[in-house]
Structure 1
């Protein structure tokens, strides 16, 4: 194999390193610009989604209010006084809220600290020192 002599038109190592550095810098800045544009689209979509959920929640509350009035009027239509009808609907909501509170208290009492993770976390310093604990 014959080694060809270096020509004046061949790039030098310094030139190649400079070109590679410039290209990498350009690539990184374009990747950052792409990530920013993707995030803008995602944040905008997330904001619109959150706004739509809020609107749906508000309409759901209005629907529950209208349903409550309708139930009270159905009870009144069955022959009970209107004031008693509304009090019955109110009582149903209070009973439902109480039931949800009791279930919530029961679930909160089930919350425990992550004992296994804490125990493993306490072993980390000795493991970093090279000590083995069983």
Structure 2
């Protein structure tokens, strides 16, 4: 006489629970999983938005500061160089210098904005859901 014992707690539960109870539990678990995924997405979006705001603020601040620096230093340097090489050529030299500064600031701002990762944890956990739903043998 051999009595068959269930292999696992899951088998025991399946044998003692009705199909309706099992389906209700699966539905409840899926609902909980989806709510958790939505919350994770919200947190990741908030973090990404904060980084985007910082990067945009830095670019805006750099452009305002660059404008004032360009205005006042350019006038002074243009005037000083004008005595050495003439006002026309000194204006060209000043324009090239500020072009280089603008390129550096734009590169740094773009680097900050490119550092935004989006929602990596949400994407990863969503990819893990389909294999979880497949039956195992």
Gaps spanning 5+ residues in structure 2: where? 6-11, 97-137
Cα deviation for residue 22 of structure 1 reads 0.5
In proportion to residue count, which structure has more helix? 2
Match of 1:71 in 2: 77
Normalising by the residue count of structure 1, what TM-score does the alignment of the two structures yield? 0.50
Aligned residues: 87
2: CA distance, partners of 1:31 / 1:75: 62
**Deviation sequence 1:89-116 (CA, Å, 0-9, x none):** 45x28x96xxxxxxxxxxxxxxxxxxxx
Match of 1:50 in 2: 56
Gaps spanning 5+ residues in structure 1: where? 97-134
CA radius of gyration, larger in: 1
**Deviation sequence 1:10-67 (CA, Å, 0-9, x none):** 3222211110111111111111111112101211221122011111122122222223
Q: How does 1:72-87 map to 2 (within 5 A)?
A: 72-78=78-84, 85=87
Runs ≥4 residues deviating over 6 A: none
Root mean square deviation, CA, Å: 3.2
